[in-house]
Amino acid sequence: MPGSLVVAKGHFDTLLAEKQMELRERESRGELRIAPQAEMRSPGMDR
């Protein structure tokens, strides 16, 4: 499904500039989404 791949923003920020550009291009095509770390948590995992 398009856009079903989610990359954590915190991880994205650690990548080399070339990889960040590649992922931004994929995001603009709707292939993935770069999400804040808070969105990456599963419900109930903070207990």
Query: For 3-29, what is each residue's pLDDT tens digit?
Result: 678 899 999 999 999 999 999 999 999
pLDDT of residue 15: 96
CA 42 vs CA 1, 13, 26, 47: distances in Å: 20, 21, 24, 11
pLDDT of residue 20: 97
pLDDT of residue 45: 56
Q: In this model, does residue 37 exceed pLDDT 90? A: no
pLDDT of residue 4: 77
CA-based end-to-end distance of the chain: 31
How far apart (Å, rounded) are the C-alpha atoms in residues 16 and 18? 5
- Name the residue with higher pLDDT: 1 or 30: 30
35 DSSP β-pair partners: 8
pLDDT of residue 38: 81
